[in-house]
């Protein structure tokens, strides 16, 4: 059973292993501020030990036929499901995710493993037509050791997604979860060791020191990073020395553009669901946190968004009825509160929520679902990713103008347009500079639909066949007879 423990070593080479210098940190329950467990603050030496274990396991795992690798990942998904409620409980305590949302993350974790297991038969090359007695073909080969680094907002789901494609492609993995929420990834590694060879999945907890050591390690030729633009940029620079292959899933400040033909109730629903408040308290890269309401419907839609935000139950993530839990850690909650205060100082209007801790939640990292209206594109609240339960409301009246405003930021992760007008939907879908565009989207991201940011929001794609193939490198083999 994946029950919480008091202390967590690292998981390396198929077993629990103490950190090289005994450095430890404390994981905090963000709904109470109390200590959950002691965790290891991984060092460069710890990362080196994990990479050694992964490198030792790599040739054997690459030699396992793809169908057997796929079967192992499917078994791992089934084992997680058997223990689903315990797994869901881990992220409730360690990340503050409401229990209903956490169950969905567990289900998604299993689907990621099954999805990439199902694609494993696509790991094949091509033959190139050559006249005469030659033959030219390509092979897809794994990199060996893959380094994956993930953020704090979907701890188990991201850990499972991070190992799924690299393992299916025949690589072994060293995973570094976020320092704020490492526990479910460590439990996942322990379970993985029951169905995969020792060293196939290694987890080193810790922060920037461990992350940077993983990126710089010479045996790690492929890095998959999910996190902020700032860290992603640092990762890309550090990986440049050894010309490593890097994919980056980074931040967003995503627009939702509401056209005047939309029913205000439906528009408010899209705006509320689009913030991903109910799973992550708005700590979601895909949240549509810049909402552009057409002049003709602005007031009606805004009023209903405020109503919907006020209906959400904020509180203990263990309670079945809770909609919105705390943010994942205290310093982040402080940053979000400061952004709300700064928006007021810039002249925006606080319509509901605000920076004060809600009644009865002292000691926790709670921030009220907050609607800020009268926002201008030049304000920081419209320019910076807040990564919390804060939505900015802006006005528009001219289509070309709003499209230019939506595209003006250097970020380009997701975008949503709400309309019943098919022609307008297509114009916006074509015109929006983002890697993932919804028309009347409710945050859905079907498996197989490629996800990846444009501009500063990322490099590469995930959640697709493209992701699986990106964990292989192409080798061309040209064969000729001597006769």
Interface with ligand NAD (CB under 6 A): 149-153, 176, 178-179, 207-208, 211-212, 215, 226-228, 231, 234-235, 249-252, 285, 385, 387, 413, 453, 458
Count the neighbouring beta carbons within 10 Å of the beta carbon of residue 461.
19
Phi and psi at residue 101, to the nearest 5°: -65, -35
HSE-CB for 466 with a 13 A CA cutoff: 12
Tokens at 40, concatenated: 């290891």
- Residue whose CB is less far from ligand NAD, 176 or 337: 176
Work out how close the CB of 253 gets to ligand NAD at its nearest, in angstroms, rounded to a whole number: 9
What is the closest distance, in whole angstroms, from the C-beta atom of residue 457 to ligand NAD in the complex?
6
**Residue 152 Cβ vs ligand NAD, minimum distance, rounded to whole Å:** 5
> Can you give the C-alpha Rg of the chain in angstroms?
23
CB closer to ligand NAD out of 208 and 240: 208
Nearer to ligand NAD, 148 or 304 (CB): 148
Taking the least distance from each CB to ligand NAD, the nearer of 167 and 213 is: 213
Note whether 44 and 344 are within 8 A (CB): no
In angstroms, give the least distance from the CB of 45 to ligand NAD.
16
Q: Whole-number minimum distance, CB 242 to ligand NAD, in Å? A: 15
CB of 412 to ligand NAD, least distance (A): 11
Please, how many CA atoms are within 13 Å of residue 242, restricted to the half-sphere of its CB?
Answer: 16
Active-site residue, selected from the candidate residues 110, 179, 238, 249: 249
Instruction: Spell out the residues 6+ positions from residue 269 whose beta carbon is closer than 8 angstroms to its own.
Output: 308, 442
Q: Which is nearer to ligand NAD, 116 or 396 (CB)?
A: 116
Q: Residues with Cβ < 8 Å from 400, sequence gap 6 or more?
A: none
Residue 333: both structure tokens together:
């909650």
Q: What sign has the CA pseudo-torsion 463, 186, 223, 128?
A: negative
Q: Write out the two tokens for 146.
A: 């893959």
Is 285 catalytic? The answer is yes
Q: Nearer Cβ to ligand NAD, position 70 or 415?
A: 415
Q: Which of 285, 365, 433, 461 is catalytic?
A: 285
Cβ-closest position to ligand NAD: 211
Nearest distance, CB of residue 392 and ligand NAD, angstroms: 16
Q: How far apart are CA 203 and CA 12, in angstroms?
A: 6
CB of 148 to ligand NAD, least distance (A): 10
Closest approach, Cβ 19 to ligand NAD, in A, equals 15
The span from the CA of 447 to the CA of 443, in Å, is 13
Closer to ligand NAD at the Cβ: 227 or 353?
227
CA angle, corner 115, sides to 439 and 250, nearest 5? 55
Surface-to-core class of residue 243, CB atoms within 10 Å of its CB (0-12 exposed, 13-18 middle, 19+ buried): exposed
CA distance 472 to 303: 50
CA distance 254 to 407: 10
Nearer to ligand NAD, 159 or 297 (CB): 159
Using the minimum distance from each CB to ligand NAD, give the nearer residue, 252 or 255. Answer: 252
Catalytic machinery residues: 249, 285
């Amino acid at each position: 059973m994946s029950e919480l423990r008091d202390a967590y070593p690292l998981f390396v080479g198929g077993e629990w292993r103490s950190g090289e210098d005994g450095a430890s940190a404390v994981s905090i329950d963000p709904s109470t501020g109390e200590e959950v467990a002691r965790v290891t603050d991984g060092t460069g030496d710890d990362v080196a030990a994990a990479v050694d274990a992964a490198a030792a396991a790599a040739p054997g795992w690459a030699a396992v036929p793809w169908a057997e690798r796929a079967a192992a990942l499917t078994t791992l998904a089934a084992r997680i499901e058997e223990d689903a409620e315990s797994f869901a409980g881990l992220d409730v305590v360690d990340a503050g995710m409401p229990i209903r949302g956490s169950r969905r993350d567990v289900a998604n974790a299993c689907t990621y493993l099954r999805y990439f297991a199902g694609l494993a038969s696509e790991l094949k090359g091509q033959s190139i037509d050559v006249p005469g007695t030659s033959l030219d073909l390509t092979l897809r080969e794994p990199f060996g050791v893959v380094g994956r680094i993930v953020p704090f907002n979907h701890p188990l789901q991201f850990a499972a997604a991070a190992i799924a494609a690299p393992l299916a492609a025949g690589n072994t993995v060293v995973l570094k979860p976020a320092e704020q929420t490492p526990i479910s990834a460590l439990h996942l590694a322990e379970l993985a060791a029951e169905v995969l060879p020792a060293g196939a999945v290694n987890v080193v907890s810790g922060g920037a020191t461990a992350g940077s050591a993983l990126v710089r390690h010479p045996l790690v030729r492929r890095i998959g990073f999910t996190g902020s633009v700032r860290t992603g940029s640092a990762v890309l620079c550090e990986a440049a020395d050894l010309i490593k292959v890097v994919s980056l899933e980074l931040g967003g400040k995503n627009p939702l553009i509401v056209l005047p033909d939309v029913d205000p109730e439906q528009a408010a629903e899209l705006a509320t669901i689009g913030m991903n408040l109910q799973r992550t308290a708005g700590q979601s890269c895909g949240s549509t946190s810049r909402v552009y309401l057409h002049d003709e419907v602005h007031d009606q839609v805004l009023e209903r968004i405020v109503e919907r935000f006020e209906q959400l139950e904020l509180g203990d993530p263990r309670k079945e009825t809770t909609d919105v839990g705390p943010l994942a850690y205290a310093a982040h909650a402080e940053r979000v509160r400061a952004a709300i205060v700064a928006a007021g100082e810039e002249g925006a209007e606080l319509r509901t929520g605000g920076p004060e801790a809600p009644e009865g939640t002292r000691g926790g990292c709670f921030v009220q679902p907050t609607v800020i209206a009268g926002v201008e594109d030049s304000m920081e609240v419209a320019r910076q990713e807040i990564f919390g339960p804060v939505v900015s409301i802006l006005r528009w009246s001219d289509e070309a103008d709003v499209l230019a405003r939506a595209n003006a930021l250097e970020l380009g992760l997701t975008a949503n347009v709400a309309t019943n007008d098919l022609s307008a939907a297509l114009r916006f879908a074509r015109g929006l500079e983002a890697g993932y565009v919804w028309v009347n989207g409710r945050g859905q991201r079907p498996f197989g639909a490629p996800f990846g940011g444009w501009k500063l929001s990322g490099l590469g794609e995930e959640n697709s066949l493209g992701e699986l193939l990106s964990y292989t490198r192409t080798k061309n083999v040209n064969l000729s007879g001597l006769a």
